[in-house]
Amino acid sequence: MSNRITARFAHLKSEHRAGLIAYMMAFDPDGETSLDILKALPAAGADIIEVGFPFSDPMAEGPSIQKASERALKAGGSLRGVMDLVSRFRETDKTTPIILMGYANPVEQMGAHAFAHAAKAAGADGAIIVDLPPEEDIDIREALGGQGLSLIRLATPTTDDARLPVVLEGVTGFLYYVSVTGVTGGQAIGVDAAAAAVARLKRATDLPVAVGFGVRDGAQAAAMAQVADAVVVGSTFVDVIAQAGADAPAAVAAKVRELSAAVRGARKLG
């Protein structure tokens, strides 16, 4: 299951380093530019890519990704359009894992099986549906699983030891640790707190653990890379895209290179 994801984490392990997971919103600022951005990310050092699909009411996002979602909708971004971008990306990149990320309603309107089928056909490897906790994700999880794709689950600081088994039940791919309570783009936690959190998760699962939320610069990314299997960076890249306009592909690639260098330079603890 999830061969590209599993293969990528195995590769990262062989290099004794953490990976960089880069988030971008499809159709931000428009379809073609976002495809150029997507194509530029692996060479710049993104090990895994989360491709956001827009939703009118992104209630777990901070201002950066909210605005990206609004721009993407204005540019005509639809779930089918996002699938099309991914399949065009796959024409030239056969190895970088792609995780589709967004909210339940666009998926629900497409239908769980149609979504899973389209994601597989496009060459995506998994999905994160922010407003589907384990209690509500059975339909989409089984549909994705039927296509050999992973539904990536989130663990958070409020996911206590009593609840953690619920989150880990049936999960594949990797576990995404949302390191702070809050919306995307907030403050990062310190490395000690992240280390403790990752250690707690590692005691409960053999899956790779990615840490995200609030990672904005090289120093923070390097700190997280010491303790996690992958570091997720989103709002920072989205901000660069928002500011760069037509130069977004080159500008975001430069930012990804900076953070990737920090992640690659970090010495793994423990």
CA–CA gap between residue 120 and residue 97 (Å, rounded): 12
10 contacts: CB under 8 Å, gap ≥ 6 = none
How far apart, in whole angstroms, are the C-alpha atoms of residue 100 and residue 20? 16
Q: Tell me whether residue 61 is one of the annotated catalytic residues.
A: yes
Q: 46 or 128: whose CB is closer to another protein?
A: 128
C-alpha dihedral (159, 165, 170, 172), degrees to nearest 10 = 60
Rank residues 54 and 126 by Cβ distance to another protein and give the closer one: 54
The gap between the terminal CA atoms of the chain, to the nearest Å, is 28
Q: Which of the following is catalytic: 61, 136, 142, 169?
A: 61
Q: How far is the CB of 175 from another protein (least distance, A)?
A: 11
Q: Are 6 and 206 in contact (CB under 8 A)?
A: no
The reply to whether 142 belongs to the active site is no
Write the burial class of residue 84 (CB in 10 Å: 0-12 exposed, 13-18 middle, 19+ buried).
middle
Q: Which is nearer to another protein, 12 or 101 (CB)?
A: 101
Rounded least distance, CB 133 to another protein, Å: 4
Q: Which one of the listed residues 32, 50, 70, 142 is annotated catalytic? A: 50
As measured in angstroms, the least distance from the Cβ of 263 to another protein is: 25
Q: What is the 3-state secondary structure (H, E, C) of 69-135?
A: HHHHHHCCCCHHHHHHHHHHHHCCCCCCCEEEEECHHHHHHHCHHHHHHHHHHHCCCEEEECCCCHH
- Contact set with another protein (CB under 8 A): 54-63, 66, 70, 73, 78-79, 103-110, 130-136, 153-160, 163, 167, 178, 181-183, 186
Name which of 138 and 250 has its Cβ closer to another protein: 138
**Could you tell me the smallest distance in angstroms from the CB atom of residue 65 to another protein?**
11
Active site residues: 50, 61
